[in-house]
Every structure is written in C-alpha cells, then in structure tokens.
Structure 1
C-alpha cells in the first residue's frame, strides 16, 4: 500500500490529488484540493514570475504539505507546467520552493503535459477516437487520438490567463479586443496541419475554463436540485456552448460573477479561456463536447502504475 501524491502547478491554480493504492492495486482518491494562485499574473513579455504570485503559491504549497506529510508511505510527483516552463527566473523559483517547502518540482514540456492528459482521459473514458483539448492558464494542449493511441499532439503557448491579459478581456470586452484575441488564437490553431484529421470527431474538453461550460449548463438544467450530473463524461452540444460564450462576452466581470456554475475566481479569465475551444468547434465542425474531470494528475498516476506495477 502507498499514497501517490500529485501536485500540479499551473498558471492559474495549483492542485493536489492523493490516491491510495492498496496491495491489490485498487485505487481510492482520498484528497483533492485546489488553490487559485495566478502564478503567471503580470509575467508580461519578459516572462518573469512576480513576488506576490510566488508568495501565494508558496502559501498554497505549505497547506498541501500539511496534508500529505501526515500520510504513510507517500510517493510525490510534483509537476510544473506553462508558467514555470516559460519563466526566465525558473531556477530561482524552484530553488526557493525547495528551500521553503522541500519539494523538487519537475518542469514538464508541453508535449509531456499533453501525453499525461491523454493517459488521464483514455484510462477513464470509454473512447477510442477523439481530439483532447486542455486549456490551461498559459498553454493549450491538443491531442489527436486514434484507436486509443496518440496520433499527434501539440502544446500552444497561450491559455485563459495569457489571452485575457494580452487582449484586455478581464472586464467589459470591446468588439475590437475580442476580434484581436480570436484572430491571434485562430492563426496559431489553423497552422496545425494535422488538425484536419480531427474533422467532426468527438472533442474531449479539459481545463477549468472548458469545464465551466458544463458547470453552467448543469446548474441551469438542474435548478433547485441538491445533486448534479457527474461532470466526467458530461456532454454538451456545440450550439449550447456558442450560446454561453455569446452571453459571457456581453457581460462585465461583476455580471459574470453572478452566473451559477461560474467560479468568481475565474470570471476575469473565462472568456479568454473559452476562445480556443470555440475556434476548434467552429473550424472542425464538431457537434459535441465530452467533458473530462481527469487529465494530467490522473495521467501521472497511470503513468507511474504502468512503469512500476503490474496494473
């Protein structure tokens, strides 16, 4: 028996997931914790991690340590993605984390992040052909899956936080800002030649912004209900997704905060975060999004098990 600890340090949030693996290799998720730290806040063109976001991140990591340090037989996999990957002061930041928390983070490539997303999705959803899309704070991963195998994958250097900051999408949005943001993202996406092979195939959505579409719809369809449908495997047609986006772009940040299912902490970056998936739906004529609650963190677990056990 051991406890597998995954810490996922992204651009917008840092997450902790702990899974107990017993002697028969049964898996039981015992802890899932998320803290919004906005590590990529104000990185700017110089790509420097700033002091306040660093402090927020260290505070969150200390909270996590209080949780996992009480458990026996732990195996820790601490992964840092786009914000740390892009930071010019990456080494200084990692040394500080090591000194104050005692954690050794692995800064993974965008391609490695995409592959772990693939493992998390294909081990938990019964799907053999799809396009997986994970929109994070500062990167967007696309993975084309055929016969449950990776056909192609790519990591694009933009996400909800970076698009929102670069094109001023935090509060009331002008038509010009929205057009500029969509044009920029569209050019990056349409430069991917192999995406034509994803025409009309199922789209699996990962990442907080993408999952917000499902959360808003679930709340609207189940008003007054104490329980909501499981988000993992939830399906949403493209027309409903477009309707949600069209409403969001007309609202101010304060107005978006009042929408059931939309976390207040995401209200300033959700429009930027949804631009990539809107473009994918439109350009590839995809009718439906299938949402996954399992991605990088679960993929890290399955990767470990494949390499170290008989599972």
Structure 2
C-alpha cells in the first residue's frame, strides 16, 4: 500500500513499515505541483491539473503499489471542479482521492509527527503543532485543532492578514512547552541551516533540528537577495518560502521551534494500517 497526500502546493507519497512500536518510511515521493496556483471561482487551473497528473505519472513510473489511500486538502475543498478532476484521476490512474476536512488533516498530520517524535525520543507533551500549507494552515494542541484559510500560495495571491491574526489569537490560549513545525517552509529553513539545498535535501538530517525567528528572517533575506535561489530551494519556490517565513515569524514569535519532516502522508499511512480513522 502507498499513502498519497495531495496538498495545495505539493503532492507527497510514502510506503512505511512497522519497526517495533513505530513506523519508518521505506519509500518517499514529493513533487511541487502548485495545486492552488490560479485557483478561481471556476476551480483548479488547467496547468495545475496538468502538473498534478504529471506528478502522478512519475509516481506510478517510480514505484509499484497494489493499493493506495489518497487524500486531498484545502485547494480541493475550495475548488468547484474537484469532483470532476478526481473522476478523471480515478479513470486514468486507478487512484481514489478523498477530500478531507481541516480537522481530519490536523489529526493525521499530528499522528505522523508524533510517530517521528517517538523515534527521535522527543517529548511532545504540551506541544503546539503548526502545519503551514499552500492554501490552509492547521494548528493543534493536544486534542484541540483548527484549520485556518490561509497558506503560502493564497497569502501571495490575496490579503490574508485578518486570517493570520485569527491564528495568532488562537495560539495565545495555549500554554505550550514547545512548538513543532512541519511542511515545506520550516523543512526548507532547517535544510538551509544545515547547509543542504533542494537537490540534496535529506529528511533524516533535518528531523529534530531547532530553528528560531532569526533563522526564518535569515532565509527570507537570503532568498530576496541571492541570484541562485532556484538552486537553493527549487524552481519557482523562493517567493513561497519567503512568504512562509514571514507568516511563521508572526505565528511563533520568539519561541524556538522543532522541525519534523513527517506529516500528513505518514499519518495517513499509520491511520490506515492501525484502523485509527475511517477514511475511504
């Protein structure tokens, strides 16, 4: 089985195996597809749908799998043409995508993060988890979670200051010991801090890395000034990473944060294997 997370900016997939009480990835896949780029009242843009199909073709060519569990998030919750698009995907690739709520997304993401934290011997008691996506942001503390309608793509396309302020107010109610960050922006910041770039990125070298507000500001300034930004963070990602650094800087303030690469795709796999959440 393979689990697939089709997000508003990336598509990620993985296979995992159980080792002791935890799950470890044995295969990982990721492509930048920009699902939310050009999202309008008509729905997903044609070029976004083409990029998604191309990525699924690459996934199919790269790894064999006899079954899959696949979910889609905020861009597809919003898009008027999601149902028709996923009918095409099912017909062409035999993959059935389910559009999940922000609350289910937060639950599965936390499951994936907690699995990695156990492997790293990190204590996540009283930890705040922030998953900054392309079109939505999920924030959870224990059993309390909320999905906010802003992400790095949508914040570039329109003014999301009001929504970001709502998220900041939501965070203020919790007394947390640490902040855990997952998703592409914090993992990119941690990678650059470790001397890695887009081409030689390794999740095992950034899992558990601590970043601070100063690191977010450093990366944002670096990508605004360096001529080799595509080499550092991937083609057409620099503007998204800069915006993400600005958003996270507002959300976390001066609290140090721990970065974990694992998230929704891993949590989805674990939930399916352990029958923890009913997802078709």
Class of the TM-score when normalised by the shorter of the 2 chains: 0.7 to 0.9
- Aligned match of 1:162: 154
Residue in 2 that maps onto 1:6: 3
Q: What corresponds to 2:29 in structure 1?
A: 33
**Other-structure match for 1:294:** 262
1:142 matched to 2:139: yes
Structure 2: runs of 5 or more not aligned: none
Whole-Å Cα distance in 1 between the matches of residues 130 and 229 of structure 2?
25
Contact 2:127–2:176 under 8 Å retained in 1: no
Q: Tell me what 1:88 maps to.
A: 80
Give the direction of change, closer, same or farther, for the CA distance of 1:273–1:256 in structure 2 (3 Å limit): farther
Deviation at 1:38, TM superposition (A): 1.2
Q: 1:43 to 1:307 in 2, by over 3 A?
A: same
Match for 1:307 among 265, 275, 278?
A: 275
Task: Output the CA distance in 2 between the equivalents of 1:20 and 1:116.
Answer: 17
C-alpha offsets along residues 87-124 of structure 1, whole Å, 9 cap, x if unaligned? Answer: 01111111111111111101111110000111111122
Asked if structure 2 preserves the Cα contact closer than 8 Å seen for 1:185 and 1:276, the reply is no
Aligned pairs for 1:1-311 within 5 A: 4-20=1-17, 27-44=23-40, 46=41, 48-68=43-63, 70-71=64-65, 74-125=66-117, 126=122, 127-145=124-142, 150=143, 152-166=144-158, 183-192=161-170, 195-199=171-175, 201-219=177-195, 230-248=205-223, 251=224, 255=227, 257=229, 260=232, 262-282=233-253, 285-286=254-255, 288-307=256-275
Q: Is the 8 A contact 2:4 2:12 kept in 1?
A: yes
Q: 1:80 to 1:139 in 2, by over 3 A?
A: same
Tell me the number of residue pairs that the alignment of Structure 1 and Structure 2 aligns.
269
- Tell whether the 8 Å contact from 2:216 to 2:246 is kept in structure 1 after alignment: no
Q: Are the structure 2 counterparts of residues 110 and 26 from structure 1 closer, same or farther at C-alpha, using a change threshold of 3 Å?
A: closer
Q: Which runs of 5+ in 1 are unaligned?
A: 168-180
Q: CA deviation at 1:185?
A: 4.3
Hey, what's the Cα distance between the residues in 1 that align with 2:27 and 2:183?
Answer: 19
Contact 1:257 1:267 in 2 (8 A): yes
> Residue 177 of structure 1 aligns with which residue?
none
Distance 1:209 1:227 in 2: 15
What is the alpha-carbon distance in structure 1 between the residues aligned to residue 175 and residue 217 of structure 2? Answer: 18
CA contact (8 A) 1:219 1:228 kept: no
- Residues of 1 paired with 2:129 and 2:85: CA distance? 31
Helix, strand or coil: the match of 1:269? Answer: helix
Please report the RMSD computed on the Cα atoms of aligned residues, expressed in angstroms.
Answer: 2.9
CA contact (8 A) 1:256 1:267 kept: no
Pair 1:229–1:96, CA change in 2 (3 A):
closer
Is residue 134–residue 141 contact of structure 1 (8 Å, CA) maintained in 2? yes
2:31 is paired with a residue whose SS is strand
| Residue-by-residue CA offset, 1:55-82 (whole Å, 9 max, x unaligned) | 11112112222344x34xx441111111
CA distance in 1, matches of 2:234, 2:62: 24
